[in-house]
Structure 1
Amino acid sequence: MTRGHLRSLALIALTLACANPEAQEERVRVTIPRGATLGAVAESLYVRGVIGSPRAFRIYAWLAGRQRGLPAGTFDLPPRLGARRALTELLRARVAEHRLVVREGLMLSEIAAVVDSQLGIPAARFLEAGRDAALAAELGIPARTLEGYLYPSTYLVPVDASAEAVVRQMAAEFFRRWRPSWTQRLRGLKMGRHEIVVLASIIEGEVRNPVDASYVASVYHNRLARGMRLQADPTVIYALGRRRRLFEKDYQVRSPYNTYLIDGLPPSPVGQPSSASLHAALFPARTDFVFFVARPDGSHVFSRTLREHLRAIAAVRSQTNAGGARPRPRAGPQ
């Protein structure tokens, strides 16, 4: 009998010896550190109750040629398994994951709160990663923060992921969603990608009805082309650091993000834009509108002149008061 035959027989015998009754559907969570030795893996499985004999698992894995390269991560495995089944389960197991849902338009601080709530990663730690200038530079983002580049979507995140890993995952999704045709479009607009992301984040904050997005975008493009200030409320909200109803004094807040006081675009995005807002910023409607006012239902009235705009504001406020609601102190670019 050859040595190979003996090895096969030993493997079969060990499999039968280690076989346990079918484990219940319950699962236990096991973390295998990266680079862990076979002995360390066996010990981790034993401590968590996945196997009954670390020695049997080590021998079986060695006979199966799996003494190296076992997967690392956090896994949910059935308990009370024999060596063969335990190795099989470990090799085919998916890393345990949490579901993270991030909606459009959130500021970095708001995403941090969502991550804290859904993943258990402290908000302060996520904020630190999201404001890591070195990480932003590594990813080619011309800002000191990743604000605006953390794509709003639903993610499956490994349960042991770090704050930086989550930030990287979300930023990777942004760059995956950015289309090659959009890069070509930048040349026609004579704008950089960062400028478009900033503009899209403002559009995201203004628009409730997606139909209006390209028209709101046209207003901002037209104002930029004419050297007019954007006077966008989302930039004031960002400067204040929290969402609330704006009052007249708020428009005087000293901040490089307050587009009522600064010319052009703010230095970085004021939230996370959706693909729809990015598309609107890149492909605005062809209009000569430079003003708009929001109706109570979230749609907008667009105007070409200040006189038209003032009439639109009066009409909207009349409708708003008739409905018993309080009008906004300002409505769209002034």
Structure 2
Amino acid sequence: MTALAVLTIACGGPDPHLGNERVTIPRGATLSAVADTLHAHRVIRSPRLFKLYATASGRQRDIQAGTFEFQIGSSMGQVLETLVSGTEVLESLIIPEGLMLSELAQRVQSQIGIDPQAFLTAARDSEMLERVGAPAEDLEGYLYPSTYYVATHATALDIVRQMVGEFESRWRSEWNQRLTELGMTRHQIVILASIIEGEVRYRPDGKFVSSVYHNRLSSRMRLQADPTVIYALGRRRRLYQRDYQIESPYNTYRIDGLPPGPISQPSEASLEAALFPANTDFLYFVARPDGKHIFSRTHREHLAAVREVRQQGQ
């Protein structure tokens, strides 16, 4: 019987009653450091035997850095296989639609502990900006809302890359032809989609809200979108009349056309709504208490709809 086989047998098998243990192996850790760390966490009984086993197997240089989960009492073969295969513990990161970049940075911190400032710095990465072709200073709008599974040692830039990659995978190739038909750039569509995201709670209304904005752009009317005022203010709160006068390139009550960049991370549904608006002549809408909208063609119709909504809210 070989020495490797003897060592494997000597280690015994996992005991489900002892539970699991998470262990972090830093980059550049020596075999001795790895063995001592595993022993300190009760994953192995003998650092010396583990070093002998890893060396005899010829895999001591293949051990990966990262955070791993082991069942207490696992054999040295199972422990080494986990370390060599790089099967890390993954943390879930749940990003809902419509978050502003600043809110997204706070969400990442609260869920997986990444420093918000480090995340905001990563969101200005020039390589990623070039990848999405965004004429902007940051990746607002391109950090796709989804559920991610990230390694516990992932950096802010690792997460940003994953989110940008998800955005690119959601952007359908046939949408590029639609951009040509609309005479718009992808960046403009992402901007519009982010505004739609901020307006729509009832998803079927998305394409109709989009039609209002497209019609207003075609008619050279200001968008007058409340979510852009909230973005200009930098925080979510109830809007007052004075807020609509705030000086900002994002305040669509004061500027013509689209704001210079997206105001949140839009969903695929909002991107699709921005690209494929309903065929209407609506120019106005107002939200009802249930989140659905009333759409109007004229200002007079709109004022009547506003009165109706106010009565519903009483």
TM-score with structure 2 length normalisation? 0.91
Give the Cα–Cα distance (whole angstroms) in 1 for the partners of residues 168 and 4 of structure 2.
Answer: 48
Q: 1:24 to 1:91 in 2, by over 3 A?
A: farther
The residue that corresponds to 1:243 in the other structure is: 236
The residue that corresponds to 1:143 in the other structure is: 136
Structure 1 stretches of 5 or more lacking a match? 1-7, 325-334
The residue that corresponds to 2:215 in the other structure is: 222
CA deviation profile, 1:32-62 (whole Å, cap 9, x unmatched): 2345444443333233332232332222223
1:14 corresponds to 2:7: yes
Percent of aligned pairs with the same amino acid: 58
8 Å Cα contact 1:251/1:258 also seen in 2: yes
Give the Cα–Cα distance (whole angstroms) in 1 for the partners of residues 62 and 95 of structure 2.
Answer: 35
Tell me the secondary structure at the aligned position of residue 180 of structure 1.
Answer: coil
Q: 1:309 to 1:12 in 2, by over 3 A?
A: same
8 Å Cα contact 1:133/1:143 also seen in 2: no
1:307 corresponds to 2:295: no
Tell me the secondary structure at the aligned position of residue 68 of structure 1.
Answer: helix
8 Å Cα contact 1:77/1:90 also seen in 2: no
TM-score with structure 1 length normalisation? 0.86
Which residue type is aligned with residue 275 of structure 2? L
1:188-203 equivalences in 2 (<5 Å): 188-203=181-196
Structure 2 stretches of 5 or more lacking a match? none
1:65 aligned residue (38, 50, 58): 58
CA deviation profile, 1:251-285 (whole Å, cap 9, x unmatched): 01111110111111111111111111110001000
Give the Cα–Cα distance (whole angstroms) in 2 for the partners of residues 189 and 142 of structure 1.
Answer: 19
The residue that corresponds to 2:34 in the other structure is: 41
> Which structure's CA Rg is the greater one?
1
Give the Cα–Cα distance (whole angstroms) in 2 for the partners of residues 315 and 112 of structure 1.
Answer: 39
RMSD: 2.2
The residue that corresponds to 1:156 in the other structure is: 149
Which residue type is aligned with residue 194 of structure 1? H
Give the Cα–Cα distance (whole angstroms) in 2 for the partners of residues 102 and 30 of structure 1.
Answer: 27
The residue that corresponds to 2:111 in the other structure is: 118
The residue that corresponds to 1:4 in the other structure is: none
The residue that corresponds to 1:233 in the other structure is: 226
Tell me the secondary structure at the aligned position of residue 301 of structure 2.
Answer: helix
Mean alpha-carbon deviation: is it higher for 144-153 or for 304-313? 304-313
1:272 corresponds to 2:265: yes
Q: 1:89 to 1:131 in 2, by over 3 A?
A: closer
Which residue type is aligned with residue 280 of structure 1? A
The residue that corresponds to 2:158 in the other structure is: 165
